[in-house]
Chain A
């Protein structure tokens, strides 16, 4: 497969969307690190988890972590969302990494040589620093990470709880990065154990990726009461297995973001007491992800919305939180500027408050002569080049981007890696931002078969409150493959060659989705937004002006020949959507519908040495995954059988067989 260097690592370019090589599936466009989700989903659908993990690793340095905690903007963008529900892309990433691990594959880092002779110091081992280190290593630059905590991972370790991200999973992703030759010096606080200027002197470049390591305090009356705690030290204690002093049984968490949810769920697990969240936003405006809020509610956490903290109540010992009604959170420009009704006050009783209203960076390690800060104490930073005011000093992650999802921190770290590498003379460029393919038109959407999204299984809420073990247990093989087969393969269908087209109109006549078009001059094309990648036009085009992007004719022919050579004898050309076999003992090629099989391909299988070819097909009373798909399969097999009879061979050398169960088409 043709590859080019982008983001410092190789990436397939073999799947341009017709008409515009930059048009990509919206999941990939929405992903901050532009992971080719469609390609790994396709592999999961085929049960090739190790290969799928390999695709994830092309852009994602922390596949297991991101497969668990990602905010998955890809799913918001997924075109399947306009048909029924988006693909569970994040969960499928986990299927890939879990499945590969179970098979003992995909966790051995490649051997890396630091060919540039350059060394980079990275301050902070959070997702941004780790991502930068990972990519720099692959570009031949030696990274050394300095981490003040005793263990690597940054906020992934100190801020995210084991029930969402088990520590051994985090360790495995970090170990892979270490395996690339990345040195991580833990317990090495810059500014404390090592001077910043010493790093500048010793290394060819320095990357500041310290994140937002401190809680923002809440300066209201009573803030100095000992039972008023801050989120970051609390989470650090929980994650380190240390007890938090002053934690009572009636806990109030101030804040409505994802970290506040983690704080509340942890407090619930530790104390078993009453936990109430108080936030400025209305119920439907809470900044935390909907699924996080739902999980917290399922665990018995109460939410008090549209209320702002007014004062901590109590003399020497906290007795509660006085709150006031919040009338609006943002001003007309969308800026954070809460307004309150100062007279509508009430008190929530409680013996502990944990303040989770945001985080800030600690840049006290920077000397006065170092990179400049602005008036608000924030690092002055060039977003394009990832540079600070001091030459050779770069920055990435939340210290410069502000709070966001882990995958955004990875993206920032990856960009910084390219910036640093370019500064050090590596011939690499920033990748182009891809453009998303259009929405599914309504007339096409109604022709797409509904298929229920597979839900992530979770431990029972009573059970999971007893410990910090992982709540989500993984989709598993069968549900994973079914979920993956829901993918619409956006933009990976028909690829049209204007040069070879003879303007015969066959594609226009046979496409069930109305994707091909032609004008009076015979100029035409195939609308990638409408194409569903069923393959019918490809099999019918008389001039071979149409190929398929995902599984091109050449690739499929080669795969047929390879499979026949490897397994000898019989070959099954099977169907993703059934997840069942029609000839279990035969060599197997799994396809997104056998409607993409041409007569030539079927004959080619015999020519390659197959003693028999079985073709899976849906029953005639059910149209299967694609409109008219099974009719094309039947026609191709009938034509092939006729061709065999003509030459004096047994037509039954190519045999149609009904797929038994269409596990993945219906709901569960």
Chain B
């Protein structure tokens, strides 16, 4: 899933204080699953905003609505009635959500309430870890099912580097060296020798370095 964390309230407030009627829009997909921006969190943020604005003597309204996915035109368009009359749409989705709201409701100002951070997995309840960098050219068959792009600080394709210390990355003792993990995993299949072959240069044009990407699929079109 895409994970995102709510921005510090001060940052949000700096924006929202400028507007009178605000619609907080939750997203019930990735950010709901990572427990930061679904319907529940959107309602909490809206309540916080109302309390803060009451305290600070700011008038207007703060309402909330949640859609299933803020990355689909149809779901975004479905809340047009709630958007009507609002000065600001505050989205608790990943950064896709506020952008699509800005596309679909060009006359209304839009702000993100979240910082989007990664494509990750739930390591344990309330803990998420990055597993994918969306590089567009997956190599993990050769690396024992472990991604060196997302999980190596240097995105090395021929690791480890000299900073690998007792199985940890030199940047933090809390981060395992992914190349150590890759070595151990391949060794469990007796394939650690594969690591002596050098991987060729990676094609970064398929990643974001090649500019914004568009994906197309063949098949039936209505």
Contacts and interface: CB of A to CB of B under 8 A. Distances in A.
Contact of B35 (A506, A604, A607, A649): A506
A509 B48 CA distance: 27
Contacts of A644: 51
Given A543-B28, A646-B48, A600 B40 contact: yes
A544 B64 CA distance: 13
B40 A607 contact: no
A509 B40 contact: no
Interface string A525-546: 0000000000000001111100
A87 to B, nearest CB: 34
Interface string A290-331: 000000000000000000000000000000000000000000
Interface in A597-654: 598-600, 603-604, 606-607, 643-644, 646-649
Contacts of B32: 502, 504, 542-543
Contacts of B125: 506, 509-510
Given A600-B47, A647-B9, A544 B39 contact: yes
B77 interface: no
A604 B28 contact: no
Contacts of B129: none
Contacts of A643: 44, 48
A521 to B, nearest CB: 15
Contact of A599 (B39, B44, B50): B44
B33 A542 contact: yes
Contacts of A505: 122
Interface string B184-222: 000000000000000000000000000000000000000
A543 B38 contact: yes
- Chain A: interface size category: 20 to 34
B41 A647 contact: no
A543 B29 CA distance: 9
Contact of A598 (B8, B40, B49): B40
Contacts of A606: 51
Interface centre among B39, B55, B56 (most CB of A within 10 A): B39
Contacts of B39: 500, 542-544
Contacts of A541: 40
A603 B38 CA distance: 18
Given A502-B32, A542-B32, A543-B32, A647 B48 contact: yes
Tell me what chain B mostly uses at the interface: helix, strand, loop, or mixed: helix
Residue from A502, A599, A643 whose CB has the most chain B CB atoms within 10 Å: A502
A538 to B, nearest CB: 10
Given A504-B32, A504-B33, A510-B125, A544 B51 contact: no
A649 B40 contact: no
Interface in B22-53: 28-29, 32-33, 35, 38-41, 43-44, 47-52
Nearest to B54: A607
B44 A603 contact: yes
Interface in A574-609: 598-600, 603-604, 606-607
Given A502-B32, A543-B28, A647 B52 contact: yes
Contact of A502 (B28, B51, B52, B122): B28
A540 B51 CA distance: 22
Contacts of B52: 647-649
Contact of A542 (B13, B38, B54): B38
Nearest to A509: B125
Interface string A484-508: 0000000000000000101111100
B40 A543 contact: yes
A662 B13 CA distance: 43
Contacts of A647: 9, 13, 48-49, 51-52, 55
Contact of A600 (B13, B29, B44, B122): B44
A503 B43 CA distance: 20
Contacts of A540: 35
Given A543-B32, A543-B38, A544-B39, A649 B55 contact: yes
A604 B47 contact: yes
A82 B66 CA distance: 43
A607 B50 contact: yes
Interface string B47-72: 11111101110000000001000000
Nearest to A506: B35
Contacts of B28: 500, 502, 542-543
Central interface residue in A500, A506, A604, A647, by most chain B CB within 10 Å: A647
Contacts of B48: 603, 643, 646-647
Nearest to A501: B28
The 9 lowest CB-CB distance pairs between A and B, nearest first, are A542-B38, A646-B9, A647-B52, A504-B33, A542-B32, A603-B47, A544-B39, A509-B125, A543-B28
Interface of A: 500, 502-506, 509-510, 540-544, 598-600, 603-604, 606-607, 643-644, 646-649
29 contacts: A502-B28, A502-B33, A502-B38, A542-B32, A542-B35, A542-B39, A542-B40, A542-B41, A543-B32, A543-B38, A543-B40, A543-B66, A544-B38, A544-B40, A544-B66, A598-B40, A599-B44, A600-B40, A600-B44, A603-B47, A603-B48, A604-B47, A606-B51, A607-B50, A647-B13, A647-B55, A648-B55, A649-B51, A649-B55
Interface of B: 8-10, 13, 28-29, 32-33, 35, 38-41, 43-44, 47-52, 54-56, 66, 122, 125
Given A542-B39, A603-B44, A647-B55, 5 more contacts: A502-B38, A542-B33, A543-B32, A643-B44, A646-B48
